């Protein structure tokens, strides 16, 4: 939330907001290679390394801002560095979840992990929206650095993972190709990865590229209003996560993937034409809820349909398809700058809805996945 608003203040350009959002995710292109590493090394140590780099990035951003030296290229460069750490963090973290629990508890564990993440997505943007006018960007980045420090401390104390590294006699390149062949030959995994790619390209940019534009230019809500919009998306995801935790090992996961992948862009299509701040809050809540359901069920189905020795590589590919999100963010910023945010968001949502409807009709097996 902070980096989106900071970019808008530095440049007053929707395109630059999209570029910075894309930079924060560009490193995901390396995620398949990071998945190979996650299958070969202690996943907890990988998470500690990623958190340490993120801590260093946030402290650097804080020092540059306080000193008055911060310019746009600093923001983009530091965003690119942090994007590489997230590319390592994500497959290692998701594979580690499967190491910590038994298979029958996997849906619960993934949902509980999502709840933990989305609590911060609710509190963080709302807190950022309130702190920016009071403490400024420096105070916000100081708080971000504190959170990354807490992340390092908690990971250092974590024990109990079942994952043990095995001797590997093939090159990393062969391991990566093995993961690609496995995903290509596993129809369920391949279809789920394709859905994740398309939703990252056409639906997920609403949080990163469109919300700051709607808050400033359409809803006239300012940084506090932008924070609340982002927080409502997180609150919807939090509600979805708590719902999954209460249900346990829910059945009908394929049907959940289908309806959530349709409801998510449908809510964004309605959001694109809304000029009411409170209606927009409700629609963003719905988008966050359906997005979280889609991501949780997709991750559960991928892990449950993947053998344990391949989980790091397959989750690396799952993280790698997020490379569609920075591409979507850049295009979103460019289209919004040329035609306006409402038309750009509407075109994105309508495209996502049409493609998902086509996939559901062409691949009826999706509804039967468990």
Q: Which of 357, 358, 333 is nearest to 345 (CA)?
A: 333
Q: Is the pLDDT of residue 276 over 80?
A: yes
Q: How confident is the model at residue 126 (pLDDT cuts 50, 70, 90)?
A: low
Distance CA 168, CA 158 (A): 26
Q: Which residue has the higher pLDDT, 91 or 194?
A: 194
Q: What confidence score (pLDDT) does residue 298 get? A: 87
**pTM of the full structure:** 0.70
Q: What is the pLDDT of residues 308-336, one digit of tens each?
A: 777 778 877 777 777 787 788 888 888 98
Q: Which of 59, 61, 51 is nearest to 151 (CA)?
A: 51
Instruction: Give the other-Cβ count within 10 Å of 145's Cβ.
Output: 18
Mean pLDDT confidence for 120-147: 76
Smallest Cα–Cα separation from 86: which of 60, 117, 115, 61?
A: 117
Q: How confident is the model at residue 226 (pLDDT cuts 50, 70, 90)?
A: confident
pLDDT recorded at residue 127 = 72
CB atoms within 10 A of CB 82: 24
Q: What pLDDT sits at residue 267?
A: 95
Range 221-244 average pLDDT: 83
- Predicted confidence (pLDDT) at residue 33 exceeds the cutoff of 60: yes
**Per-residue model confidence (pLDDT) at position 280:** 93
Domain definitions of the chain by residue range:
2-157+176-368
Q: Residues 330, 274: contact at Cβ < 8 Å?
A: no
Q: What is the CATH number of domain 2-157+176-368?
A: 1.20.1250.20
47-51, 132-136, 186-190: least confident range:
132-136
The beta-carbon contacts of 116-122 under 8 Å, at least 24 apart in sequence, are: 118/234, 118/235, 118/237, 118/238, 118/241, 118/288, 118/292, 119/234, 119/238, 120/147, 120/234, 121/230, 121/231, 121/233, 121/234, 121/237, 121/238, 122/231, 122/234, 122/235, 122/238
Spatial separation of the C-alpha atoms in residues 130 and 141, rounded to whole Å: 13
Burial of 52 (0-12, 13-18, 19+ CB in 10 A): middle
Q: How many CB atoms lie within 10 A of CB 187?
A: 13
pLDDT of residue 270: 96
């Amino acid at each position: 939330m902070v980096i989106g608003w900071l970019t808008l203040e530095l440049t007053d350009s929707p395109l630059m907001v999209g570029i910075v959002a894309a930079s924060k995710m560009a490193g995901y292109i390396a995620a398949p290679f990071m998945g190979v590493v996650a299958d070969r090394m202690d996943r907890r140590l990988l998470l500690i390394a990623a958190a340490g780099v993120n801590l260093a990035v946030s402290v650097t951003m804080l020092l540059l801002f306080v000193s008055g030296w911060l310019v746009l290229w600093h923001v983009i460069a530091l965003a690119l560095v942090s994007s590489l750490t997230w590319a390592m963090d994500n497959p290692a973290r998701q594979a580690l979840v499967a190491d910590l629990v038994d298979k029958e508890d996997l849906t619960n564990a993934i949902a509980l992990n999502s709840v933990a993440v989305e609590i911060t997505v609710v509190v963080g943007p709302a807190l950022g929206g309130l702190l920016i006018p009071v403490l400024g960007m420096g105070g916000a980045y100081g708080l971000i650095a504190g959170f990354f420090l807490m992340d390092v401390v908690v990971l250092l104390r974590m024990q109990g993972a079942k994952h043990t590294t095995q001797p590997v006699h093939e090159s990393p390149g062969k391991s990566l190709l093995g993961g690609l062949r496995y995903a290509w030959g596993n129809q369920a995994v391949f279809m789920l990865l394709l859905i994740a790619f398309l939703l990252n390209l056409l639906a997920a940019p609403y949080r990163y590229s469109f919300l700051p534009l709607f808050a400033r230019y359409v809803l006239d809500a300012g940084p506090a209003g932008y924070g609340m919009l982002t927080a409502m998306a997180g609150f919807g995801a939090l509600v979805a996560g708590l719902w999954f935790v209460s249900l346990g090992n829910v059945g009908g996961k394929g049907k959940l993937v289908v309806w959530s992948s349709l409801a998510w862009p449908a809510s964004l299509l309605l959001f694109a034409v809304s000029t009411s701040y409170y209606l927009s809050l409700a629609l963003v809540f719905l988008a966050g809820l359906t997005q979280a359901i889609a991501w949780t069920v997709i991750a559960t189905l991928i892990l449950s349909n993947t053998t344990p020795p391949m989980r790091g590589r397959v989750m690396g590919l799952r993280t790698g398809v997020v490379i569609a999100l920075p591409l979507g963010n850049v295009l979103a910023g460019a289209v919004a700058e040329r035609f306006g945010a409402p038309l750009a968001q509407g075109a994105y949502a309508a495209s996502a809805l049409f493609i998902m409807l086509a996939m559901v009709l062409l691949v009826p097996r999706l509804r039967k996945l468990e």
